[in-house]
Structure 1
């Protein structure tokens, strides 16, 4: 799937590729899903979490690359290293 192409509403989420669900974003940042949602929908003044790129049905999806950049910038702002391995 082209990264800028919006998935069809009936697309199985498992086949979407570089788009992540809220749970996948939370897992990547090592936080709970509710915490991820609070980062997105109640952003801080600096380095707000990316908004969902698309929705498939009621499921919001984020571009993987945007979440990775957010994570690295967030941890840099907190003076910690983000190890994504």
Structure 2
């Protein structure tokens, strides 16, 4: 018999292994076999039936998949990696690396496998980093941001007068920028400022 005609070797799988490949419990696997949604075992001799690996190599569309468990979001007041990265204006991978290096604060808790940080620790780290790099403070979450024109309109002054007040330190500095690098101010800080 030519080598090209030799059948490919295959492995035998137990019901537990078949169920694991399909993402099912053993009971769900046996139910699918009994319903005809999965192939019957190749070998039934011995104490346990066995299937060939090629019988369960591809997903059978008739076999129901186990639905992933959804956890209810916990309102714990702690921040996730993404939130910490946004607040510190770092990429998530960079923030994670700084945590590993001991530069950034370590997580204070975990929700399953998700690390969580105390917001006060992250704010203190971000403030210290900002002072060191001379960056403006980011706005608090859910704080509306205003353009220079909106700030000038709020104070009933011309746009040039608003920019002059910012330059002289009579008005707050911008806390963020748009994608076009236009400065943005915290609406709360602008409201508490008097510009004439």
TM-score in terms of structure 2 length: 0.33
Alignment partners' CA distance in 2, 1:41 and 1:13 = 26
Aligned-partner SS, 1:84: coil
1:15 equivalent to 2:69? Answer no
| Displacement after TM superposition at 1:13 (Å) | 4.3
TM-score in terms of structure 1 length: 0.71
- Structure 2: tracts of 5 or more residues without a match: 1-70, 140-196
What are the superposed Cα offsets for residues 34-53 of structure 1, whole Å, 9 maximum, x if unpaired? 0110110023xxxx211100
Alignment partners' CA distance in 1, 2:105 and 2:73 = 19
- Structure 1: tracts of 5 or more residues without a match: 1-10
- Give the length in aligned residue pairs: 69
Alignment partners' CA distance in 1, 2:72 and 2:118 = 16
Q: Which residue in the other structure is 1:72 paired with? A: 127
Q: Which residue in the other structure is 1:55 paired with? A: 110
Alignment partners' CA distance in 2, 1:13 and 1:36 = 23
Structure 1 residue runs of 4 or more that deviate by more than 6 Å after TM superposition: none
**Structure with bigger RCO (C-alpha 8 Å, 6+ apart):** 1
